[in-house]
Structure 1
Amino acid sequence: MPSTLPGEVSSSDAIRLALRSWPEVDTYLEQCKGVIIPLGSTEQHGPTGAIGTDALTAEAVALELGRRSGVLVTPAQAFGMAEHHLGFAGTMSLQPSTLMAVLHDLVLSLATHGFERIFVVNGHGGNIATAKAAFAQAYGTATSRDLPVAPRLRCRMANWFMAGPVMQRARELYGNREGQHATPSEIALTLHLHDSLMEKQRPLPEAAPCGSIHGPADFRRRYPDGRMGSDPYLAKPDHGAEFLTTAATALRDDLETFLAAA
């Protein structure tokens, strides 16, 4: 049977899987078969952006989405496929095959317990292709293992930064200076989440224009300071609060449709 949203809760603690006991999860599964996984990356975001930007933003959006919907949220998967950023100190990447194996195993773990709808809130474009491949593999494994949920198991990738209302607002605020990496929209959300990051903000030279993405050495050559056509100095904490609300609102509709679908 399709699931419906359990309903809004007052605190994000109420929907954190990490704070539930196993009997509480069993009880939850009696009314809802959905779960949210925040997926990010640990990679450079230009000379002023936090290395944890993609994981911080994915988790924040996932928790706000969970609070508004009542759907459980797992701990964030903070490491993604960021091989092309390895030319910058602090970046920690999983190879595509490793990320694929991690996501496959996480989906199968949840499916084993009866979760049928896995909604991944993603904060990093480099994860998209690998995650979709992991979903396809998980469907096959669930079937081969004869898991009871196999016919109903579905995974969905929701890239918060690509939600229509988020992209529209970013264009309104920043125009073509939004760029493609270390964008002011994602930096704004981190500024909203962590006041200390304001200390890093400063004017920057014109960024290298957006273009191709290849290996680490080529990326460093094309984009010397890590930015791709972006001006993160335009970011403001109040913009970040707006992006958080806008993203959670847009993804809630997507989540509701996803849970209700046959």
Structure 2
Amino acid sequence: MNECMTSLNCSELIHNSYRLDLCTWAEVEQYLTKCKGIILPIGSTEQHGPTGAIGTDALTAEAVALEVGKRAGVLVAPTQAYGMAEHHLGFPGTMSLQSSTLLNVVHDLLLSLARHGFERVFVVNGHGGNIATVKAAFSQAYKTVLNLKLPVAAGFRCKLVSWFMVPDVFKEAKARYGNLEGQHATPSEIAVTLFLEPNLQSKQRQLPEPAPAGPIYDYQDFRQRYPDGRMGSDPFLAKPDHGEIFLDKAAIALTEDLLNFLKEL
């Protein structure tokens, strides 16, 4: 099934870009004659502590997805920048979807792609709070595709990967930051944003000891447990060159993962 690495795809038509949003419909139609795969980045718009960008999860997911798309020769859809972040609503700037809304959004995006003939959707995720809902959306989409008897029904598959859970990324973060990697507003994700957007370096500053990582409930409880938004993390440890390393390690592993996914029966 996978001819993506050698096919005439969108990138050859629009100056070496793998972005779906820069293609014409005719270019996508031509791409589909050779490759049925597409990457969908998904993140969140939420607080990342007093020094982290609110768009961290979307920025990092998109960067990883674009790098994987370039290496694999696979189209990358526009980033779904809003996720399930209701527990962060105690902090200004957070914009969240309810789980039911996110499920419907992802379901509808998957169904749109299936209608056009995409058979493999590789979802690159930047936010842990999305995982359960996105997997539920996959199940719903499979059911809809079958019920509608779409031509791709027999081979339609979706896969969710979270770049920050890639083993080599996780090991690198632990080696560099130890327990101060924490669970939210982590130096590893902040490092990637510093590499992508150097002006964010101006926001970096030494912070007091963070609240220890623990459970997550509603947004009021979250704000009380983690007053500045961090969960056991010290983002001041992040450096732009670390971010480049994390991005490369994620891209290497996920490119291989994607190519194997495209070849699955």
TM-score of Structure 1 vs Structure 2, range by shorter chain: over 0.9
Partner of 1:218: 221
Q: For 2:131 and 2:264, how far apart are their aligned partners in 1?
A: 22
Partner of 2:24: 21
The verdict on how the C-alpha distance between 1:103 and 1:12 changes in structure 2, with shifts beyond 3 A counting, is: farther
Deviations 1:130-175 (A, max 9, x none): 0000000000000111101011110000100000000010011101
Deviation at 1:25, TM superposition (A): 0.6
Q: For 1:4 and 1:250, how far apart are their aligned partners in 2?
A: 19
- For structure 1, the 5+ residue unaligned runs are none
**Secondary structure in structure 2 of the residue aligned to 1:14:** coil
2:55 maps to 1:52 = yes
Alignment partner of 2:33 out of 30, 35, 49: 30
Partner of 1:176: 179
> Identity across aligned pairs (percent)?
64
Q: For 2:255 and 2:180, how far apart are their aligned partners in 1?
A: 28
Aligned length: 261
Deviation at 1:14, TM superposition (A): 1.9
Partner of 1:230: 233
Partner of 2:133: 130
Q: Which amino acid aligns with 2:132?
A: A
Q: Which amino acid aligns with 1:213?
A: I
Scaled by the length of structure 2, what TM-score is found?
A: 0.96
Alignment partner of 1:258 out of 237, 247, 261: 261
The verdict on how the C-alpha distance between 1:138 and 1:12 changes in structure 2, with shifts beyond 3 A counting, is: farther
2:144 maps to 1:145 = no
Deviation at 1:30, TM superposition (A): 1.0
Scaled by the length of structure 1, what TM-score is found?
A: 0.97
Supply the RMSD in Å over aligned alpha carbons.
Answer: 1.4
Deviation at 1:234, TM superposition (A): 0.2
Partner of 1:5: 4
Deviation at 1:42, TM superposition (A): 0.1
**Secondary structure in structure 1 of the residue aligned to 2:17:** helix
Q: For 1:56 and 1:134, how far apart are their aligned partners in 2?
A: 22
Deviations 1:224-245 (A, max 9, x none): 0000000000000000011111
For the 8 Å contact 1:55–1:76, the answer to whether it is kept is yes
Alignment partner of 1:242 out of 232, 242, 245: 245
Deviations 1:170-225 (A, max 9, x none): 01110111000000000000000011100000000111111100000000011000
Q: For 1:166 and 1:7, how far apart are their aligned partners in 2?
A: 29
Runs of 4+ with deviation above 4 angstroms: 7-13
2:78 maps to 1:75 = yes
- For structure 2, the 5+ residue unaligned runs are none
Q: Which amino acid aligns with 2:109?
A: L
Q: For 2:264 and 2:15, how far apart are their aligned partners in 1?
A: 25
Partner of 1:111: 114
Q: For 2:15 and 2:194, how far apart are their aligned partners in 1?
A: 20
Q: For 1:100 and 1:259, how far apart are their aligned partners in 2?
A: 24
